[in-house]
Structure 1
Amino acid sequence: MAAEAGDGLPAAEEDLAVLVAAAEALAAAVRVPAGKLMRTKEFLSKLEHDLVVQAIRDAESKTSGEIRVFIQRGEVKGDALVAAQKRFHRLGLHKNAHHNDVLIWVAPRAHKFAVVGDEAIHQKCGDELWQRLIEQMRDHFRNEKFTAALVDAIGEIGDAVAAHFPQGSTSTGSQPDEVIEG
């Protein structure tokens, strides 16, 4: 899959389209129907940050890969998947020598989320992992189980990455274990 021409991505970022954890056809970026507008502040107030951070630490303790969670504030203009790919690059996740980092990107106000994995982990795990994650997260989000959506996804991502890229002396560990808001 390649980025569309004119999407504003530099050539290096166009390659990120190949790194998408789930194909657009498999609903990597989805809109979760909800009865009311969810403000980011409300989402964050319901999110148990400590549990999410602990899930990141637990998952990363088994692998050389990094797992990041990014909560997008405000409106999302354009496609969620493109926004997640750009954030993946801005966070420097593409710089891991193993190319096995994963970003979970959530835009509460837009009721959208995406999971983006780097090239090596996508090649090892294939679309089935990402599709399963998207479905599980969608179910949790619909039921306003925000923490469970993230913790369960992080755990499953950690297991998948660890199966192919176990913790070793080459682990980068360069990213802070936190929920990023922006």
Structure 2
Amino acid sequence: MLNVSRLFKHLFATSRQTKKYFSTLSLQQIESAIARSEIGHSGQIQVVIETSLSPYALFHHQSPRERAIEVFSLQKIWDTEHNNGVLIYLLMADQAIEIIADRGIHQLVGDGFWQTTCSKIEKQLRNGAFQEGVLAGIHEIDQILREFYPSKLITPNELSDQPVII
């Protein structure tokens, strides 16, 4: 059965609302944080912020997690050389955060780390600190990527550091 409340949240969510929480300056600061982070490891971090799901996705009861996995694939985060790409996905209409990690880093770290990191970001988001939450997530992911994938040489930037808004 279709959740009418969720449907209305998504139908009335606007990109203007998303831009209220993620200004141009905020997005630039997130991009800079990712770029600085990737100097210290060979991993790749991508931030994707989605305002709302399509009516089709809603009618098929797509969860934020399912959408994050789809976005992970669409953004080709799975295609990094060392299988160490990480997606931070925010679905604004549902106020949901998901972290999807490629198999290389996920096998080393396990579910617990990603769930704890999501919880830290969610706490910031609930307090209205959207930029701070994303930056905290980038910092946590940076630390674990530095531990398991330290950068010994300058590595190519396989994914854009710029946050994607869809």
TM range (shorter): 0.7 to 0.9
After TM superposition, list the pairs within 5 Å mapping 1:1-150 onto structure 2.
Answer: 39-47=14-22, 48-75=26-53, 77=57, 78-150=62-134
Structure 1 counterpart of 2:157? 173
Residue deviations 1:127-166, cap 9 Å, x none?
Answer: 2211211111111111110001100100110110111011
Q: Equivalent pairs: percent with the same residue? A: 21
In structure 1, C-alpha distance between the alignment counterparts of 2:90 and 2:119, rounded to whole Å: 14
Q: Is the 8 A contact 1:55 1:154 kept in 2?
A: yes
- Normalising by structure 2, we get a TM-score of 0.81
Shift in Å, 1:173:
0.9
Distance 1:153 1:40 in 2: 23
Q: Deviations over 1:18-37 (max 9, x none)?
A: xxxxxxxxxxxxxxxxxxx8
Distance 1:74 1:38 in 2: 6
* 1-structure distance, mates of 2:156, 2:79: 10
Deviates more, 1:130-139 or 1:167-176: 167-176
Partners of 2:98 and 2:108 lie apart in 1 by: 19
Structure 2 CA distance, aligned partners of 1:177 and 1:97?
Answer: 16
Task: In structure 1, give the amino acid aligned to 2:67.
Answer: A
Q: Which runs of 5+ in 1 are unaligned?
A: 1-36
Match of 2:110, SS state, is helix
Structure 2 CA distance, aligned partners of 1:162 and 1:96?
A: 16
CA contact (8 A) 2:72 2:78 kept: yes
TM-score, normalised by the number of residues in structure 1: 0.74
Aligned residues: CA RMSD: 1.9
- Unpaired runs of at least 5, structure 2: 1-11
* C-alpha contact 2:39 2:154 (8 A) present in aligned 1: no
As a proportion of its length, which structure holds more helix? 2
CA–CA distance in structure 2, aligned partners of residues 75 and 106 of structure 1: 11
Q: For residues 34 and 120 of structure 2, what CA distance do their matches in structure 1 show?
A: 18
Partner of 1:30: none
